[in-house]
Amino acid sequence: MKANVGSIDRTIRILVGACLIAATLFGVIGPWGWLGLAPLATGIFRFCPAYLPFGFRTCPIKK
């Protein structure tokens, strides 16, 4: 798995995922907030499988 998630994308994914999970834990939103695990995991591992079929990369290419 090569990294395909850049630093800004990674930060946004981690923040959104953490906010969704926190909102679920505090009872603000329903159980669908556990979907925040997906962006949280892709941000932590710097790999998004949804980018593969389209060839997207938000991180710089190493030379």
Direct distance between the N- and C-terminal alpha carbons of the chain, in angstroms, rounded to an integer: 18
Residue 35 CB contacts under 8 Å (≥ 6 apart), including other chains: 20
pLDDT category of residue 5 using cuts at 50, 70 and 90:
very high
Nearest-angstrom CA–CA distance, 4 and 46: 6
Residue 63: the pLDDT is 63
- Is residue 48 exposed (0-12), middle (13-18) or buried (19+ Cβ within 10 Å)? buried
Segment 7-61, tens digit of pLDDT: 999 999 999 999 999 999 999 999 999 999 999 999 999 999 999 999 999 988 7
Q: What is the pTM of this model?
A: 0.88
